[in-house]
Amino acid sequence: MKVFITGGTGFIGAALCELLAEHHHQVTVLTRDTAAARKRLGPAIKLVSSPQAVSDDGYDVVVNLAGLPIADRRWSDARKAALHKSRIDLTNQLVDALEGMKDKPKVLLSASAIGYYGDQGEHWVDEDTAPRAEYTHQLCEAWEQAALRAQNIGVRVCVLRIGLVVGAGGGFLARMLPPFKVGLGGRLGSGRQWMSWVHRQDVLRMLCYLMEHETLQGPFNGTAPRPVRNAEFSQILGRQLHRPAKVPVPSAALQLAMGEMSGLLLTGQRVAPSRLLEAGFEFHYEQLEAALSEALS
């Protein structure tokens, strides 16, 4: 297949490029920094610098993973504008380019996040759950709607609402590890908030599954079927590292340091990947212990 990828140098995107290249697919990546992308992805990946480039060649699959990290800094007005531009504006540009293609791709796979649902407390969440109207929902909703425009031009669209991705060398786990490695890790706030996680290898397998199964379309929750509370996650991570995990971070401290963004850490969603399971997808990592063991090995 010929595959066009945005966000191809990111934590998920770079691994997807490697996997597809290993299986002899032709991969093109949209990037703003060609030199850095070449260093990260190697010589086998074609690099382009404009979304319009997708219309210059025929592609079977377009994978849209681009977006600035949402938890790297406080949500100032400027940061929110940058998050919007990196997701919604780029996705609109990409779909506009698809409209000009004579031979359109078979499928557009577009990333979203379980932040789409907002804070859901104790309730189980599936793809039909009504979201709460807060910032993360508004951002994800606009992102998804931009991608779903491609349905109007005859392109199958799948939106993957990705949870907290567990994997080596990046993602939220890389930010958690430093205090845990020195025995200063612990729960955040009450520790009762749900963490809907997923192993990076299963995210890659989900994307490939959605590529291959031509009857699947619409939103899919990209999480493992067994979410855990933050306190349990902290204890399991401490055991994996052979370190205590008994130093809690008070809610007030997170709110002071992070402002509105602290809600990402102090609230959560108990997400079920209902539509993927119904479609026959099988997880390699259902248990957090096994996922963390692989990521930390």
Question: Tell me: the pLDDT tens digits for 89-114?
Answer: 999 999 999 998 989 999 999 999 99
pLDDT tens for each residue of 210-253 = 999 999 999 999 999 999 999 999 999 999 999 999 999 999 99
Tell me the one-letter amino acid at 258.
M
Tell me, what's the pLDDT at 72?
87
Across all residues in the chain, what is the average pLDDT?
Answer: 96
Specify the CATH superfamily of domain 2-296.
NAD(P)-binding Rossmann-like Domain (3.40.50.720)
Burial 97-135 (b: 16+ CB within 10 A, else e): bbeebeebbebbbbbbbbbbbbbbeeeebbbebebeeeb
| Degrees to nearest 5, angle at CA 224 with 125 and 106 | 90
**6, 184, 155, 207: which is closest to 93 by C-alpha?**
6
Tell me the one-letter amino acid at 41.
L
> What percentage of the chain's residues is helix, strand, coil (to nearest 5)?
45, 20, 35
Whether pLDDT at 56 is above 90: no
- The whole-model pTM stands at 0.96
Lowest mean pLDDT among 42-46, 56-60, 124-128, 272-276: 56-60
Residues contacting 148, CB < 8 A, separation 6+: 157, 159
Average pLDDT over residues 153-166: 97
3-state secondary structure of 133: coil
Residues contacting 174, CB < 8 A, separation 6+: none
Residues contacting 46, CB < 8 A, separation 6+: 26, 27, 28, 29
Rounded to whole angstroms, how far apart are CA atoms 18 and 31?
Answer: 16
Rounded to whole angstroms, how far apart are CA atoms 179 and 201?
Answer: 25
Regarding beta strands 228-229 and 194-195, do their DSSP bridges make them parallel or antiparallel, or are they unpaired? antiparallel
Q: What torsion do the CA atoms of 143, 121, 278, 282 make, to the nearest 10 degrees?
A: 90
Number of residues written out for the chain? 297
Residues facing 194 on adjacent strands = 229
Whether pLDDT at 121 is above 90: yes
Tell me, what's the pLDDT at 100?
86
